[in-house]
């Protein structure tokens, strides 16, 4: 079955960077885009960006341009999301997610979430 397993919680200081991993199993990793979505406590979901694991092509929300980098290691079926210049407003749960199927479908498979806390 499709599974996305994320790395554990992180505590970072303002100005630092964080790198969250998302290991996929149960399907061909290079066949489906990986998206990253975050959610601050008590707030709604916020889409951050996507990556095609086959080509490495990426797309980012304007809000995060210049601070976010999504990469992958196809040998271990893992995607990464790195966010730099962290501020307190970046404290949130970060999710990786995959479309239900190729093209024309939304996010049907989600990781368990990674809590990133930014605090001095």
Partner 1 sequence: DIQMTQSPSTLSASVGDRVTITCRANQSISSWLAWYQQKPGKAPNLLIYKASTLESGVPSRFSGSGSGTEFTLTISSLQPDDFATYCCQQYNSYPWTFGQGTKVEIK
Residues at the site binding partner 1, with contacts judged by CB under 8 A = 35, 44-47, 50, 59, 61-62, 95, 97, 100, 104-108, 110-113
Q: How far is the CB of 97 from partner 1 (least distance, A)?
A: 8
Q: How far is the CB of 16 from partner 1 (least distance, A)?
A: 25
Nearer to partner 1, 1 or 75 (CB): 1
Nearer to partner 1, 76 or 100 (CB): 100
Question: Quick count: other Cβ atoms within 10 Å of Cβ 28?
Answer: 10
Q: How far is the CB of 82 from partner 1 (least distance, A)?
A: 19
How far CA 77 is from CA of 31, 53, 86, in Å, comes to 11, 9, 27
Q: Using alpha carbons, select from 37, 59, 120 the residue that is nearest to residue 86.
A: 120
Nearer to partner 1, 25 or 105 (CB): 105
Report DSSP state, residue 8.
Answer: -
Q: How big is the chain, counted in residues?
A: 120
Nearer to partner 1, 62 or 75 (CB): 62
- Side-chain half-sphere of 60: how many Cα atoms within 13 Å? 14
Q: Quick check: 76 and 7 in contact, CB under 8 A? A: no
Q: How far is the CB of 20 from partner 1 (least distance, A)?
A: 14
């Amino acid at each position: 079955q499709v599974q996305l397993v994320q790395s554990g919680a992180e505590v970072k200081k303002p100005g630092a960077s964080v790198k969250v991993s998302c290991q996929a199993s149960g399907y061909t990793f290079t066949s489906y885009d990986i998206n990253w979505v975050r959610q601050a406590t008590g707030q709604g979901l916020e889409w951050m960006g996507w990556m095609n694991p086959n080509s490495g092509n990426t797309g980012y929300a304007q809000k995060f341009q210049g601070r976010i980098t999504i990469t992958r290691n196809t040998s271990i079926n893992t995607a990464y999301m790195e966010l730099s210049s962290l501020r307190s407003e970046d404290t949130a749960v970060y999710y990786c997610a995959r479309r239900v199927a190729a093209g024309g479908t939304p996010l049907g498979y989600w990781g368990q979430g990674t809590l990133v806390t930014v605090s001095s």
